[in-house]
A = this chain, B = another copy of it.
Protein backbone atom coordinates (compact mmCIF):
# COMPACT_ATOMS: atom_id res chain seq x y z
CA UNK A 1 0.00 0.00 0.00
CA UNK A 2 1.36 3.43 -0.80
CA UNK A 3 1.97 5.80 2.09
CA UNK A 4 -0.90 8.12 2.89
CA UNK A 5 -0.12 11.75 2.09
CA UNK A 6 1.02 13.69 5.14
CA UNK A 7 -1.74 16.05 6.25
CA UNK A 8 -1.06 19.07 8.41
CA UNK A 9 -2.23 18.71 12.03
CA UNK A 10 -5.78 20.13 11.94
CA UNK A 11 -5.40 21.21 15.57
CA UNK A 12 -3.73 24.58 16.15
CA UNK A 13 -1.84 25.82 19.23
CA UNK A 14 -3.94 28.02 21.50
CA UNK A 15 -4.05 31.77 20.96
CA UNK A 16 -5.38 34.35 23.45
CA UNK A 17 -8.92 34.07 22.13
CA UNK A 18 -8.90 30.27 22.44
CA UNK A 19 -7.54 30.47 25.99
CA UNK A 20 -10.24 32.94 27.01
CA UNK A 21 -12.92 30.68 25.55
CA UNK A 22 -11.49 27.63 27.36
CA UNK A 23 -11.43 29.54 30.65
CA UNK A 24 -15.03 30.65 30.22
CA UNK A 25 -16.18 27.07 29.53
CA UNK A 26 -14.57 26.03 32.83
CA UNK A 27 -17.03 28.21 34.76
CA UNK A 28 -20.06 26.18 33.60
CA UNK A 29 -20.56 24.18 36.82
CA UNK A 30 -21.19 20.85 35.12
CA UNK A 31 -19.57 18.53 32.60
CA UNK A 32 -19.97 15.22 30.81
CA UNK A 33 -17.53 12.63 32.17
CA UNK A 34 -16.25 9.60 30.25
CA UNK A 35 -14.92 6.76 32.40
CA UNK A 36 -14.08 3.07 32.10
CA UNK A 37 -16.35 0.45 33.64
CA UNK A 38 -14.02 -1.57 35.89
CA UNK A 39 -16.07 -4.75 35.35
CA UNK A 40 -16.19 -4.74 31.55
CA UNK A 41 -13.41 -2.36 30.48
CA UNK A 42 -15.93 -0.54 28.26
CA UNK A 43 -16.80 3.17 28.34
CA UNK A 44 -19.42 4.75 30.57
CA UNK A 45 -20.65 8.33 30.68
CA UNK A 46 -22.20 10.54 33.38
CA UNK A 47 -23.12 14.13 34.05
CA UNK A 48 -21.04 15.57 36.87
CA UNK A 49 -21.00 18.76 38.85
CA UNK A 50 -17.73 20.55 38.20
CA UNK A 51 -15.69 23.42 39.55
CA UNK A 52 -12.24 24.86 39.20
CA UNK A 53 -11.22 25.35 42.81
CA UNK A 54 -8.57 28.08 43.19
CA UNK A 55 -6.43 25.84 45.45
CA UNK A 56 -7.34 22.25 44.60
CA UNK A 57 -7.79 22.66 40.86
CA UNK A 58 -10.44 20.82 38.84
CA UNK A 59 -12.96 19.10 41.10
CA UNK A 60 -16.16 17.13 41.15
CA UNK A 61 -18.37 15.91 44.00
CA UNK A 62 -19.56 12.32 43.54
CA UNK A 63 -22.27 10.21 45.19
CA UNK A 64 -21.42 6.64 46.14
CA UNK A 65 -24.55 5.62 44.21
CA UNK A 66 -23.20 7.03 40.93
CA UNK A 67 -21.70 4.38 38.63
CA UNK A 68 -18.61 6.52 38.08
CA UNK A 69 -17.76 6.53 41.81
CA UNK A 70 -16.29 3.02 41.74
CA UNK A 71 -15.06 3.48 38.17
CA UNK A 72 -12.94 6.52 39.06
CA UNK A 73 -11.58 4.78 42.15
CA UNK A 74 -10.52 1.67 40.21
CA UNK A 75 -9.69 3.23 36.81
CA UNK A 76 -8.69 6.86 37.41
CA UNK A 77 -8.14 7.82 33.76
CA UNK A 78 -11.14 9.80 32.55
CA UNK A 79 -12.17 12.59 30.18
CA UNK A 80 -14.44 15.60 30.64
CA UNK A 81 -16.35 17.70 28.16
CA UNK A 82 -17.56 21.21 29.02
CA UNK A 83 -19.85 23.25 26.79
CA UNK A 84 -23.54 23.73 26.14
CA UNK A 85 -25.33 23.60 22.82
CA UNK A 86 -27.32 26.74 22.15
CA UNK A 87 -30.81 26.86 20.70
CA UNK A 88 -29.70 27.64 17.14
CA UNK A 89 -27.55 26.16 14.43
CA UNK A 90 -25.51 22.97 14.05
CA UNK A 91 -24.60 21.51 17.49
CA UNK A 92 -21.06 20.91 16.24
CA UNK A 93 -20.47 24.64 15.76
CA UNK A 94 -20.96 25.38 19.48
CA UNK A 95 -17.70 25.47 21.44
CA UNK A 96 -16.66 22.69 23.80
CA UNK A 97 -13.57 21.85 25.80
CA UNK A 98 -12.40 18.25 26.14
CA UNK A 99 -9.99 17.45 28.99
CA UNK A 100 -8.23 14.14 29.59
CA UNK A 101 -7.63 13.79 33.31
CA UNK A 102 -6.72 11.50 36.17
CA UNK A 103 -9.05 11.24 39.15
CA UNK A 104 -7.90 11.20 42.79
CA UNK A 105 -10.35 11.03 45.70
CA UNK A 106 -10.04 13.62 48.48
CA UNK A 107 -10.01 11.59 51.72
CA UNK A 108 -12.51 12.61 54.42
CA UNK A 109 -9.58 13.55 56.68
CA UNK A 110 -7.60 15.45 54.01
CA UNK A 111 -6.50 18.75 55.59
CA UNK A 112 -7.50 20.56 52.37
CA UNK A 113 -11.08 19.26 52.52
CA UNK A 114 -12.72 21.84 54.84
CA UNK A 115 -11.68 24.74 52.59
CA UNK A 116 -12.65 22.79 49.44
CA UNK A 117 -16.06 22.12 51.02
CA UNK A 118 -16.56 25.76 52.07
CA UNK A 119 -15.72 27.10 48.60
CA UNK A 120 -17.96 24.48 46.95
CA UNK A 121 -20.89 25.63 49.10
CA UNK A 122 -20.14 29.28 48.29
CA UNK A 123 -20.60 28.46 44.61
CA UNK A 124 -23.40 25.89 45.05
CA UNK A 125 -25.43 26.61 48.20
CA UNK A 126 -27.97 23.90 47.30
CA UNK A 127 -25.26 21.24 47.71
CA UNK A 128 -25.70 21.65 51.47
CA UNK A 129 -28.44 18.99 51.21
CA UNK A 130 -25.98 16.23 50.29
CA UNK A 131 -22.40 17.47 50.65
CA UNK A 132 -21.94 15.87 54.10
CA UNK A 133 -23.60 12.52 53.35
CA UNK A 134 -21.09 9.79 54.22
CA UNK A 135 -20.96 8.28 50.73
CA UNK A 136 -20.22 11.55 48.92
CA UNK A 137 -16.63 12.41 48.05
CA UNK A 138 -14.72 15.18 46.34
CA UNK A 139 -12.54 14.00 43.48
CA UNK A 140 -9.65 15.99 42.02
CA UNK A 141 -9.38 15.78 38.23
CA UNK A 142 -5.79 16.50 37.26
CA UNK A 143 -5.65 17.47 33.59
CA UNK A 144 -3.29 15.56 31.31
CA UNK A 145 -4.16 17.23 27.98
CA UNK A 146 -6.93 19.39 26.59
CA UNK A 147 -8.52 20.20 23.26
CA UNK A 148 -10.77 23.15 22.55
CA UNK A 149 -13.16 22.80 19.66
CA UNK A 150 -14.65 26.15 18.74
CA UNK A 151 -16.54 24.83 15.73
CA UNK A 152 -15.63 23.30 12.38
CA UNK A 153 -11.91 23.73 11.65
CA UNK A 154 -11.39 25.73 14.85
CA UNK A 155 -9.61 23.23 17.11
CA UNK A 156 -6.80 24.20 19.50
CA UNK A 157 -4.52 22.31 21.85
CA UNK A 158 -4.73 23.80 25.36
CA UNK A 159 -1.82 23.43 27.76
CA UNK A 160 -3.11 21.69 30.94
CA UNK A 161 -1.16 24.31 32.94
CA UNK A 162 -3.53 26.95 31.54
CA UNK A 163 -6.65 25.25 32.94
Contact = CB atoms under 8 A, between A and B. Distances in A.
A44 interface: yes
B84 A84 contact: yes
Contact of A98 (B45, B49, B77, B94): B45
Interface residues of A, number: 41
Please give the count of copies of this chain that the complex contains.
2
A30 interface: yes
A27 interface: no
A134 interface: no
Interface of A: 10, 29-30, 32-36, 40, 42-47, 49, 65, 67, 77-81, 83-85, 89-92, 94, 96, 98, 100, 124, 126-127, 130, 147, 149, 152
